[in-house]
Each structure stands twice: as C-alpha cells, then as structure tokens.
Structure 1
Amino acid sequence: MSVRTRTRQRRTGRRSGVGSAVATLVLLAGTAGCQAASSDGTEPTTPASTGGVGVTGNTGLVWWMSRLDRAGTAATLYVSRPLDAPPCQGSLRPEATVTTGSAALTITVSDGSGTGIGCVRDDKLAIVPVNLPEPLGRRTLIDGYDNGRRPVYREADLPAVPGGDDGSSEVPTGFGVPTPADAAPPGAWSQAYTRPGGPDIRISGYPPDHALARAPGTDPVGTAEVAGAQGAIYRYGGDRFQLRWRASGLVYLLDVVPTEGDSISLSTFRGVLTRLDAA
C-alpha cells in the first residue's frame, strides 16, 4: 500500500491569527475499515445514522477504534463504511485528514474511490495507518465523521512484550465489520503474542461500559503494576489467571495461554509478568 502525504496550514474562521495544522494522508491502494478513538477512552460514542438517501452522497467513513504507538505519533485506525451505507461498488480508497488543536486531534476518513461507496474486503475492518503531525499527548482523538470519541488503545498503557529469538511474536489480528443487527458496534480490541514452546499471551482492551470489562465477582489473588497502573490478578476457570487494570479510561485484561494439556500456576503467571516488566 503506497501513501501520499500532503500537509497544509488552515486558519479557523472564528479566531483571527489562530491556525490549525492539517495533514492529509491518501492511501492509494487497499480496502478500508475505519474506527474512531478518544485519547482517554472515556465516553465512547456510536456513529450516528446518516439515514437513507442522504448516505448515497456521503463518502465519509467511520473508524471504530484506534491503536496508538508508544511515541504517540502513529495511529492505526480500524475503519468501515457507515452501518447504513448503500450497497458498495469497487474497492475502498481511504483518505485520512488530521486536524490538530490544543485540546483534540480530529481524524476524518473519506472514501476517495471513483464511486465513493467502495467495498471492504472479507468483511473485515480496514487498517488505516495515520502519522500524526505531532504527539497526541493527553489530548482527545476524535472521528471527524460525527465528531464522536471512540476507544484509543495506547501502547504506552500496555506491558512491553519482548521480541527477538527468545521473545514473542505478534499475531496479526483482524476485526469484523459491524452490521446494523449487531447489539453493539465494535470497540473491543485484542492482540495475541505467540512464543515457541509457549506460553502465549493475549491482551484485550474494552471501553469501561463493555460487558467484558466488568470486574470479576471474586477477590483478587494478587496485584501487579503495568505501565505505572496498579492491576489485580484473578483466578478463573480453575487453573487460569488473568491480570486486570485500568488506564486512560479503558479496561485491559492480560491472559497467559498455556500449551495444550498444560496449566498455569500463579508462580508461572507471575514469571510471565516479570518478563513483561509487569510485576
């Protein structure tokens, strides 16, 4: 996928002499999926329906969530057409525009295909990488489609999973495109890591009101620190353990997945956390 980047300065109409930096990235190949995010993860919103005929002339795309790198300058958006969009034609060609401000950055994704209603491949959210013109910091990240805030999963809030010959490899993860019949739009994120000989690791993130974000009804069996946040370790399924913590308004769960036929003791679980600098 090739990318053309265009940057320009735009002045607001309300404040004389106050400008907003606007960076435009045009993805020239590939299909799309879109998701909106918020820097603190609070108050996620569902994209509003644009309704019937009005959608036909609307080439806006929706991003449902974002993953932000540790430097805070590279966002990965998970994008799709609006839920009530008309039947698609051809391939999606996402174009992302970033508008910066003192309190928020707004990313607006549109479909630059010939029809303006391109298709998403394999019913998966398209991955749209966007380089921010400056670090996001603690500002909010907004989807320009409806000015809504979606979950932003920050790598800075996660344990560092070591790679290399003795480390773990990230397993590619895809997310399905929602349908109007879905009970809730996407917003849950997950990432798995595999290691020769095991055990594997799975990290999941949820908006705070998601059903899977609820705290277990049992007492924790221990605690651990993750990226500066205090987490609690819970036993589940008899011989499994899970670390739960909150960061930037989102809830995270870390599971250690044993090789088939094995179990995970609490000491083994803590050993994995130590390897991740989450102990």
Structure 2
Amino acid sequence: MRSDDGLPDVMVGNDLPTGQLPADRPRRHGRVTLAVAAAAIGLALVGSFFLRQQRATDPPAPRQVSARETPAEPPSTLAWLSALVARDGMSVTVYAGTSAECEELVQPQAAVVEQDGTRVVIAVKARTGRASDCTTGGNAIPLLVSLPEPLGDRVLRDAASAVPPPTYLERDLPALSGDKRWSPHPGQWASTEDGWFQGYNGPGGLSLLAAARPTAEASRPATVATLTIGARKGVITGGAESSWTLWWEVGEVTYSLRLTPTEGSTVSLTQFKREMGRLHWN
C-alpha cells in the first residue's frame, strides 16, 4: 500500500512486536553496518601485514642498467709507431694512433713494462672511439714515458709487436728547443707512417721543418751542395724559388731540415747555409 507521494506506507499496530517502534529498525541496521565495516577494516589490516611479510622475504628484483651505465671495455695493448729519445736519454716520446678513418685513441697511456741491460719494452694501452673531429682522426699522438735510468745503447721494443719500431734521437738533431729564434708549433701526421717531424716558426717569417725516417724509406732529390754540420757532413737539395733542405744520415736513419721563406720572398743558398750554421749542433 503506497501513500500519495509514491513511497511505501509504514506498518503500524499489530504488525510490530510489543514495545518496538518503527524508528528502532534503522538504528539496528546502522549497528549492523558499522560491525561489517569494522570487520572489513580488520581483514584489510591483517592482509596488509602478511603482504609486507611476504615482500620482506622475496629476493630483490634485478636492477635495470641503462646504456650509459654499461661498463666500458678495458683498454687494449696497441702497437706504437715510432719513438723520439730525449737528448739526456731519460725520457722517450712514443707515437701511437689508429689508421681507421674518423677514429681516435681514448685515454691512451704508455709505460715501461720490462727492461734489462739490452732492451726497454714500452706498452701503449688505450681504447678506440669515434673522433670528435674527423679531420684529426687517424693521426698519431705523442706519449711521454720517463725512464728509471738513461736509455744508453739499449733497444726500444714495442710490447704489442715485440719488435723495435723506428727510434730517433734528439742528440742527432740540432738543439732547436733551446734556440729562442725558433718556436715549435703542433704537428701531426698519418699514423700509418713511422716517420717523425716537428715544425718551427722563425725570424722574418721563415719556417723550419725537422724530420726523420728510416733511410730505406727516404727519398732525396738531386744534391745541390754539401755542408759540414758539427761532426757530420750533410747534402743540400732544393732551390731559392721554393725551399732548401739539408739532409744527413746517422746509422739507418735519415734526418732533414727544410727551410721555407715567407710567401713572396726567397732565400739564397748562401743565406740558407748561414741559417744552418747558426743552429746548435753536437
């Protein structure tokens, strides 16, 4: 039976137990609802406790390592190309590089790994990577190695190849480092070559190039004149229109000095000989 507003009528009279009012039914319903809610919260807390206990005993999940965190490959022992022994014999500069295009050595290091009365073995260790500047990639770089005692007559050997690469001696060159008229400038060459060179800027715009390579690989133009330099005799090639070069040999090594005038000027043969005579020779 419904009232005019469409809601069910409330039963009264004999339909209810003695002493119970209609309002008692919603209050009992509220107590039941609270009890159910309390039980649900209790079960949730118990479940959460056991879940935490289970997680505490589970082994940790493996950590994901990004590409940037991947350990780099260890450096390799690489063959070096040539060496320049200091004038006092207490240090050696070895030249190493990679011939691959647009590739360079990463954190190269050189050190003595073995020595005795007849030899000194030097190892170069490095990784290879893409060159930051491809115009300089594939070039040799100098690595200075200090020796515990002078090299003397001992032979330098490469730890990677076990052979003696070409070795050049500062004492066979003029002492340009102590001549204030000439200032060295950086120089690089293709690492596939085993020669050595160093450029200098001089007075009046002159430039000088000191070089060395195994005599078997040296190619020398026709001789124009000769010149005594210290205890040795050299030969001169070239001409006043381009440049003059002085050549001399020590053992199996050919050394040279090429003098080039500033653009638009010339240097006579007499002037060239005078400049060579002003250098400090052993």
Show the counterpart of 1:172: 186
Q: C-alpha separation between the residues in 1 aligned to 2:104 and 2:91? A: 30
Query: Offset of 1:118 from its aligned partner?
Result: 3.4
Q: C-alpha separation between the residues in 2 aligned to 1:207 and 1:152? A: 9
Residue segments in structure 1 that go unaligned for 5+ positions in a row: 1-55, 112-116, 178-184
| 8 Å contact kept, 1:222–1:234 | no
Show the counterpart of 2:81: 64
1:254 to 252, 257, 265: 257
| 8 Å contact kept, 1:162–1:276 | no
Q: C-alpha separation between the residues in 1 aligned to 2:118 and 2:148? A: 15
Show the counterpart of 2:6: none
**Secondary structure at the counterpart of residue 209 of structure 1:** helix
Query: Offset of 1:199 from its aligned partner?
Result: 1.8
| 8 Å contact kept, 1:92–1:120 | no
Q: C-alpha separation between the residues in 2 aligned to 1:262 and 1:192? A: 19
- Whether 2:209 is the aligned partner of 1:202: answer yes
Query: Offset of 1:255 from its aligned partner?
Result: 0.9
What count of residue pairs does the alignment treat as equivalent?
A: 204
2:128 to 109, 113, 118: 118
Show the counterpart of 2:90: 73
Query: Offset of 1:167 from its aligned partner?
Result: 1.1
Q: What amino acid maps onto 1:118 in structure 2?
A: T
Larger Rg: 2
Show the counterpart of 1:148: 163
Higher RCO (CA-CA < 8 Å; seq separation 6+): 1
**Secondary structure at the counterpart of residue 173 of structure 1:** coil
Alpha-carbon distance change, 126 to 223 in structure 1, aligned in 2, over 3 angstroms:
closer
| 8 Å contact kept, 2:110–2:122 | no
**Secondary structure at the counterpart of residue 102 of structure 1:** coil
- Whether 2:146 is the aligned partner of 1:131: answer yes
Show the counterpart of 2:235: 232
TM superposition score normalised by structure 1: 0.64
Q: What amino acid maps onto 1:64 in structure 2?
A: L
Q: C-alpha separation between the residues in 1 aligned to 2:147 and 2:130? A: 24
**Secondary structure at the counterpart of residue 171 of structure 2:** helix
Q: Deviations over 1:87-142 (max 9, x none)?
A: 9899334252342111111112223xxxxx33374423232110011111122111
**Higher mean C-alpha deviation, range 97-106 or range 253-262:** 97-106
| 8 Å contact kept, 2:224–2:235 | yes
Q: Within 5 Å, give how 1:178-193 maps onto structure 2.
A: 185-193=192-200
Show the counterpart of 2:220: 215
Q: Percent identity?
A: 26
Q: C-alpha separation between the residues in 1 aligned to 2:160 and 2:123? A: 6
